[in-house]
Structure formats: structure tokens, C-alpha cells
């Protein structure tokens, strides 16, 4: 599970320790549509040993080889359209400043950012601002005859590409979560074949599941479910199966990485991952996940596989992603304090004792420095990750939780002085509190969410982990957020030396309520509902607290000079409300109470007040902040001596967004269609 950056969203926070150090580093790389592209530093890379550098290097290569998999998972047309767009972009000879071309460039930048034709967050298809005539003419000029598939290019092929781009009803939405609709049929993602319905998918997996199995595999995690001759079959992602060429390339680099492993346990873990990729066997993936979870000694670490299931309307199939990283020892002291006190937090949580874990196992937590972001973690990336996702593994072997601090630092640095707080935060004293404490409390929120929140609580025996179905992701994120919010205000954090002021938590509380009630709406188009799980979770919590605290005016929406502000009158009572809601959501999860979960989500998390929404968009439009941010990666170069032996790996930060995307398409396209 991941923590997204929506919480950060351009709040201007000062973090003086870094301000001088980072003066010359240019964090902002590109800006288009609703996107700002940043770059991040990889501090202390040069202090790794040569072996560790080589390990990182080969793991980053393995990470980049998986890019095409995600593009194809996102939508079946993506890998066909990308080379068409890139060919037009590179070959275009006429004035590159004309309006059509500029709009075309913007569209291509959006497609790169979305890893396909849909927005990475809203899941809606991008709307092009260039003309259909422009596209058709450029297609015929630049793509025809360039390869086998285009050798007999005719108008029909051109038209079908143009329909994909211009017809809003074609592949309209990547992941549809609208209640009452067939979520498989109405979603454009490529995780299910043509003609497969939601009822069929649910029946198929229900039939496979053995509810008495205490160590179930993650059904559907690494396959595409299709219909063949009227029967459902799984096309498994593996060598020799679906995505074979990409998985082969990934395994090739994993093999090379293995020779630089830091210890036997890490070497065995990589070997197990290769076995899983070779066989597609989900039991092997569970074995790998356990080995990976238990390897806490290695400095270098990585995620590589089909991991998060937010891209599947039914939350089963994992989107391919990879993040390579190494431990930030200094900052990890913070998360180690949290995880070494895990049992205290579990024992004191405001949930029914029946739903608590008697023994919280192996919650390991560290702060890491990301070295590469890939697949579903690129360009938009989480700032916190807690894996593995399988409930039984978490219960018996614990989980590994990380905070990507060089990424949060880059967000923070890039957001200085953008005017956000001045516009939306109610008064100067709250702004000052946020300036002083938001960076640390935001990081602590992420630590608590990932180290403790997701790992806390337990299911009652016999409860299906997927019982909450389409609402599972939203409720799970709410559970982890509430756990973090509740404990942020606990005197225990001051006692543990994690905060130096018992009021520091108010900075995060204010930001959370402001974001959940108002400012996250800037990411939603007028007239639309909230769909994404993390956003639903935030509104659920904030709107629930607003309503349940209304009688005592715990939190209010007030008007000042015609503008709406969040006003928190009683922070202590707000903490109590967070605790109450945590108790209820934990009950829902522990008992698998689908109806109560659905009711909470539908009542609080989905609908938007159109008037307030319009106001937020208006006020936001006067600021020049991009609602979404993502990153380009640094470039790693293998340095060899005259005999060809590797002697160093260097890192550079000078590649721009367009160059990186075009280079990735050139150098890492194992699933190339033409
Ligand atoms: Zn989470």
C-alpha cells in the first residue's frame, strides 16, 4: 500500500536545514497542463561501496525494463499509440511553434505522464487541444511506410488512431468506480479481456477461493482474465506467458544484480523473484515476499513486480512497478523508534480489543533514499510504501514500511513561496504553526500510516480479506490515516522524542481537514465525483468529522470576506472523533461488514458540494500551482576501466523530461509493437 503525495500539494513549508544546501539545485524541470515535473537528488549515493553502487545500477536497469508492461496494463492501445505520437513529435518539420504542434506536444507530455492515454489520478482520458486534421495529416506523413505495420497504412488505420485520441466515448475511463455499473465492462484498463463482465470475474475468483485456506495466494495478482471460446482463462504474466519479453529483460538485469548482492539472504531473495517471474507461480511470489520482508539487514533494497491493485476496478491485479532505494540511516532513527514501540501503539489504539493484534510482528520501518522510480511509481510517485499487501503475510511475518524522504524533500523545496497557505489557511497563527511543524508532522503522519496503520488490527477468523470489495482500498487507506492522525496528537510522541511540542500535531490536523474538505477538490473537474481511493479516504475522514463534530462546533466551515475557510475550534475533540471513526472502520474491516463500509463511503467520500468546489477552483486558479507533481529520474552511468571492468557508477541530474521519455522509449521497449 502506498501513501500518495496529495497531502503535500504545494503547501509552502520551510525546512531551513536544507534551504542553503539546495540553493543551486534546480528542482523544477517542466510544467504543462495540471502537472509539474520535478527532479530529486540522491544524497549519499557516492558514499555507497562499489558493490552497492553496482547492485543499485543493475536494479535500476531492471526497473526501467518494465515500463512497457505498465503501459499495456493501463490500456491495450497505449503501446500502439506511443510510437505514433513520438514519431510525429520527432519528425515534425514545420514550425514547431505553431498552435497545433504546441498542443500536440502538451498532449504527448500528458500521455507520457499518465503512462498512457488516461490521467494517472482522475483516470479520465486526456482531451487533445490540437485538431483532428493536424493529427491525420501528420500521421499520414510521418508514420506511413516506416515499418511493417504501417507499410500499407490506409485511412482506416489513421482513423482508428484518431478515434482513440479524439472520440471521448472510446476508452473513456481507465478505472471506473461508479456504483451500480459493471466496473469491468466500463473500465478501459487492459486487465480483463473483451466481453468479460464483473459478475463473471467475481464468480471466477470466488470459485477458486478456499475460505478455509489460512495462507491464500493473491488471486489474479499477475494475470489478465480473458474469455476464450466462452470460457474464462488467466493469461499469466511470466516468461513464456504474457509480457514475456519485458519480464525476460527484467530477469536478465536481476541476474546481474545478484552477483553484487550484499549478503546471502538478499541473493536468495532476488533468485526467488526470478523464479516467480519465470513460473508465474503466486506461491513463489508469497515466498519471495516473506524473504523480502525479513531482509532488513541490507542497505540497498528494491520493489520490483506486480504490486498495487489500484489500477484494477476490483482491486485484484497488480500494476507493475519498481523502486530502487537505499537506507537513510540518520533519518531512519525516527521510524525505528516508532516501530520498536509498535506493540504499545497497538495495545492503546481506540478500537475494540477483539480487533487488535495480540502481537504485532516485525513492523520494520526505515527512511529511504529513492534511486530510481519506475512503472506505476513514475513519474508520479508515492512518498510512503508498506508491503507486502497479502494480509496473512503481514499478520505472520510483518511488513516493511518505508518513507521516501529525498522525494518529500524535493516536494518541499519546490513548493516554497507559492502562495497556497496565504490563500487557504485561516489565519497567521495557524500558518506559522504549519511553517514550523508541518514538514515533521507530515513525515510522521506518513511513518505512522505506513509503519503502524496498515499493519494494525486483525480480521476475525473466517472473514474474507476482500469482503469490502470495491470499497476495500478507500477504507483501508482511511484506517491507516486515522491511526496516524489519532497518534500524532498523543503525548507518547513527545515522550519518545519524536516531537518537541505537544501542539505540533495541530499543523497536520489543520492541513488534513483543509485538504479533505476543500483543497483536494482542485483535482476534480467541475461536475465530477471523487473516485480515487486516497482522495475518497481523505474526504470520508474530514467530512465525517465535520458532521459528527457539528453539534459542539469542533470544526466549522466559516466565511471571511466572501471566502470559505476551515476553522478548527477544538483540536482535542477532533482527535476523539478520529479515534471513534477508527474504531468503526476497524470493526468494518475486522468483521467484513460490506454494507456499513459501502454506506460510509457513499455518504461521505464520493459526492462534492458544487458551490464549494467552484470556489476552490476559482481561488486556486489565481495561484500558479500544479495540482499534480511527478519526477524525472537521475541518470546512472557505469564507468569501466580499459579492460572493461566496472570501477564506478556515477549519477547525474541534467536530463530533461522530454529527453528522458524519448530515451526510455528508445532504450527500454521490450514490448515494442513496431
Ligand atoms: Zn496507505
**476 C-alpha to ligand 1 centroid (Å):** 7
**507 C-alpha to ligand 1 centroid (Å):** 20
Instruction: Dig out the grid coordinates for 515 from the structure.
Output: 485538504
Rounded-to-integer distance, Cα 81 and Cα 409, Å: 35
**443 C-alpha to ligand 1 centroid (Å):** 14
Helix (H, G, I), strand (E, B) or coil at 477: helix
Is the pLDDT score of 6 beyond 50?
Answer: no
Is the pLDDT score of 213 beyond 60?
Answer: yes
Least confident range from 206-215, 499-508, 608-617, 648-657: namely 206-215
**446 C-alpha to ligand 1 centroid (Å):** 9
On whether residue 665 sits in a domain, the answer given is no
**477 C-alpha to ligand 1 centroid (Å):** 5
pLDDT at 3: 63
Instruction: Dig out the grid coordinates for 519 from the structure.
Output: 483543497
Tens of pLDDT along 339-375?
899 999 999 999 999 999 998 865 667 899 999 999 9
pLDDT at 16: 35
Domain holding 362, by residue range, is 3-11+332-631
On whether residue 252 sits in a domain, the answer given is no
Tens of pLDDT along 57-96?
999 999 999 999 999 999 999 999 999 999 999 999 889 9
**278 C-alpha to ligand 1 centroid (Å):** 30
**381 C-alpha to ligand 1 centroid (Å):** 13
**473 C-alpha to ligand 1 centroid (Å):** 9
Rounded-to-integer distance, Cα 109 and Cα 85, Å: 10
**102 C-alpha to ligand 1 centroid (Å):** 38
On whether residue 174 sits in a domain, the answer given is no
Sign of CA dihedral 234, 240, 245, 247: positive
The mean pLDDT value for 175-204 works out to: 96
Average pLDDT, the chain: 93
Is the pLDDT score of 8 beyond 50?
Answer: no
Rounded-to-integer distance, Cα 71 and Cα 116, Å: 6
**533 C-alpha to ligand 1 centroid (Å):** 10
For 145, other C-beta atoms within 10 Å of its C-beta total 10
On whether residue 166 sits in a domain, the answer given is no
**294 C-alpha to ligand 1 centroid (Å):** 20
Tens of pLDDT along 455-476?
899 999 999 988 999 999 999 9
Concatenating the DSSP letter of every residue in 240-262 gives TSBTHHHHHHHHHHHHHHHTT-S
pLDDT band at 451 (very low <50, low <70, confident <90, very high): confident
Tell which wins on pLDDT, 134 or 145.
134
Is the pLDDT score of 400 beyond 80?
Answer: yes
**636 C-alpha to ligand 1 centroid (Å):** 30
145 conformational bin, left if phi > 0, alpha if psi -120 to 50, beta if neither = left
On whether residue 661 sits in a domain, the answer given is no
Instruction: Look at the chain and count its residues.
Output: 674
> pTM of the full predicted structure?
0.80
Residue 213 contacts by C-beta under 8 Å, 6 or more apart in sequence? none
**456 C-alpha to ligand 1 centroid (Å):** 12
**2 C-alpha to ligand 1 centroid (Å):** 4
pLDDT band at 447 (very low <50, low <70, confident <90, very high): confident
**592 C-alpha to ligand 1 centroid (Å):** 19
**247 C-alpha to ligand 1 centroid (Å):** 27
**392 C-alpha to ligand 1 centroid (Å):** 17
**484 C-alpha to ligand 1 centroid (Å):** 11
pLDDT band at 9 (very low <50, low <70, confident <90, very high): very low
Q: How many structural domains does the chain have?
A: 1
On whether residue 287 sits in a domain, the answer given is no
pLDDT at 4: 58
Is the pLDDT score of 19 beyond 80?
Answer: no
Radius of gyration over every alpha carbon of the chain, rounded to an integer in angstroms? 24
**130 C-alpha to ligand 1 centroid (Å):** 38
Percent of the chain whose predicted confidence (pLDDT) is above 70: 94
Is the pLDDT score of 7 beyond 60?
Answer: no
Rounded-to-integer distance, Cα 339 and Cα 416, Å: 32
Rounded-to-integer distance, Cα 100 and Cα 408, Å: 36
Tens of pLDDT along 538-597?
999 999 999 999 999 999 999 999 999 999 999 999 999 999 999 999 999 999 999 999
Instruction: Give the closest residue to 434 by CA, choosing from 415, 453, 457, 458.
Output: 415
On whether residue 556 sits in a domain, the answer given is yes
On whether residue 34 sits in a domain, the answer given is no
Amino acid at each position: 500500500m502506498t501513501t500518495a503525495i496529495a497531502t503535500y500539494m504545494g503547501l509552502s513549508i520551510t525546512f531551513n536545514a536544507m534551504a542553503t544546501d539546495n540553493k543551486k539545485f534546480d528542482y523544477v524541470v517542466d510544467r504543462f497542463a495540471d502537472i509539474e515535473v520535478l527532479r530529486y537528488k540522491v544524497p549519499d549515493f557516492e558514499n555507497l561501496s562499489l558493490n552497492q553502487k553496482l547492485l543499485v545500477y543493475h536494479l535500476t536497469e531492471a526497473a526501467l525494463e518494465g515500463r512497457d508492461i505498465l503501459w499495456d496494463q493501463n490500456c491495450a492501445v497505449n503501446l500502439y499509440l506511443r510510437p505514433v505520437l513520438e514519431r510525429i513529435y520527432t519528425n515534425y518539420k514545420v514550425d514547431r511553434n505553431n498552435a497545433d504542434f504546441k498542443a500536440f506536444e502538451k498532449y504527448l507530455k500528458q500521455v507520457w505522464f499518465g503512462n498512457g492515454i488516461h490521467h494517472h489520478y482522475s483516470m479520465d482520458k486526456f482531451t487533445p487541444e490540437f485538431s483532428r486534421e493536424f493529427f491525420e495529416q501528420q500521421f499520414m506523413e510521418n508514420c506511413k511506410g516506416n515499418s511493417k505495420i504501417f507499410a500499407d497504412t490506409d485511412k482506416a488505420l489513421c482513423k482508428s488512431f484518431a478515434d482513440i485520441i479524439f472520440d471521448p466515448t472510446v476508452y473513456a475511463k481507465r478505472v471506473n468506480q461508479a456504483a451500480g455499473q459493471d466496473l469491468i465492462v466500463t473500465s478501459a484498463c487492459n486487465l480483463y479481456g473483451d466481453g468479460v463482465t464483473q459478475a463473471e470475474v467475481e464468480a471466477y475468483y470466488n470459485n477458486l477461493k478456499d475460505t478455509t485456506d489460512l495462507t491464500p495466494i493473491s488471486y489474479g495478482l499477475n494475470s489478465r482474465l480473458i474469455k476464450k471460446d466462452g470460457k474464462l482463462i488467466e493469461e499469466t504474466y511470466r516468461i513464456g506467458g504474457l509480457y514475456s519479453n519485458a519480464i525476460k529483460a527484467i530477469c536478465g538485469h536481476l541476474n546481474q544484480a545478484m552477483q553484487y548482492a550484499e549478503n546471502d539472504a538478499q541473493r536468495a531473495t532476488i533468485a526467488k523473484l526470478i523464479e516467480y517471474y519465470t513460473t508465474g507461480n503466486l506461491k513463489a511470489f508469497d515466498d519471495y515476499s516473506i524473504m523480502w520482508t525479513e531482509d532488513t539487514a541490507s542497505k540497498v533494497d528494491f520493489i520490483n513486480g506486480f504490486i498495487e491493485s489500484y489500477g484494477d476496478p476490483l482491486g485484484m491485479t497488480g500494476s507493475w512497478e519498481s523502486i530502487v532505494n537505499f537506507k537513510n540511516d540518520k533519518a531512519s532513527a525516527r521510524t525505528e523508534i516508532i516501530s520498536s514501540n509498535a506493540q504499545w501503539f497497538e495495545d492503546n489504539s481506540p478500537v475494540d480489543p477483539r480487533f487488535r493484534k495480540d502481537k504485532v510482528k516485525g513492523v520494520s520501518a526505515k527512511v529511504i533514499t529513492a534511486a530510481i522510480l519506475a512503472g506505476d511509481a513514475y513519474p508520479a510517485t508515492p512518498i510512503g510504501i508498506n508491503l507486502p499487501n497479502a494480509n496473512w503475510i503481514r499478520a505472520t511475518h510483518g511488513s516493511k514500511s518505508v518513507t521516501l524522504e529525498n522525494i518529500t524533500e524535493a516536494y518541499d523545496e519546490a513548493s516554497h513561496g507559492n502562495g497556497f497557505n496565504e490563500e487557504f489557511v485561516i489565519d497567521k497563527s495557524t500558518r506559522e504553526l504549519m511553517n514550523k511543524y508541518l514538514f515533521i508532522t507530515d513525515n510522521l503522519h506518513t511513518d505512522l500510516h505506513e509503519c503502524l496503520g496498515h499493519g494494525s488490527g486483525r480480521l476475525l477468523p473466517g472473514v474474507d480479506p476482500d469482503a469490502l470489495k470495491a470499497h476495500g482500498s478507500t477504507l483501508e487507506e482511511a484506517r491507516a490515516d486515522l491511526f496516524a492522525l489519532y497518534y500524532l496528537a498523543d503525548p507518547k510522541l513527545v515522550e519518545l522524542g519524536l516531537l518537541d511540542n505537544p501542539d505540533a500535531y495541530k499543523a497536520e490536523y489543520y492541513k488534513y481537514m483543509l485538504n479533505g474538505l476543500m483543497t483536494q477538490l482542485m483535482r476534480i473537474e467541475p461536475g465530477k465525483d471523487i473516485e480515487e481511493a486516497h482522495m475518497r479516504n481523505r474526504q470520508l475522514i474530514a467530512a465525517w468529522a465535520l458532521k459528527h463534530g457539528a453539534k459542539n462546533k469542533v470544526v466549522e466551515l466559516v466565511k471571511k470576506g466572501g471566502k470559505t475557510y476551515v476553522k478548527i475550534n477544538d483540536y482535542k475533540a477532533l482527535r476523539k472523533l478520529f479515534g471513534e471513526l477508527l474504531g468503526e472502520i476497524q470493526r468494518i474491516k475486522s468483521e467484513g461488514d460490506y454494507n456499513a463500509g459501502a454506506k460510509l463511503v457513499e455518504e461521505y467520500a464520493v459526492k462534492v458540494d458544487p458551490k464549494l468546489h467552484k470556489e476552490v477552483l476559482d481561488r486556486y486558479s489565481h495561484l500558479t500551482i500544479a495540482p499534480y507533481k511527478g519526477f524525472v529520474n537521475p541518470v546512472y552511468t557505469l564507468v569501466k576501466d580499459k579492460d572493461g571492468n566496472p570501477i564506478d557508477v556515477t549519477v547525474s541530474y541534467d536530463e530533461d523530461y522530454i529527453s528522458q521519455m524519448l530515451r526510455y522509449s528508445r532504450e527500454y521497449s521490450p514490448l515494442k509493437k513496431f
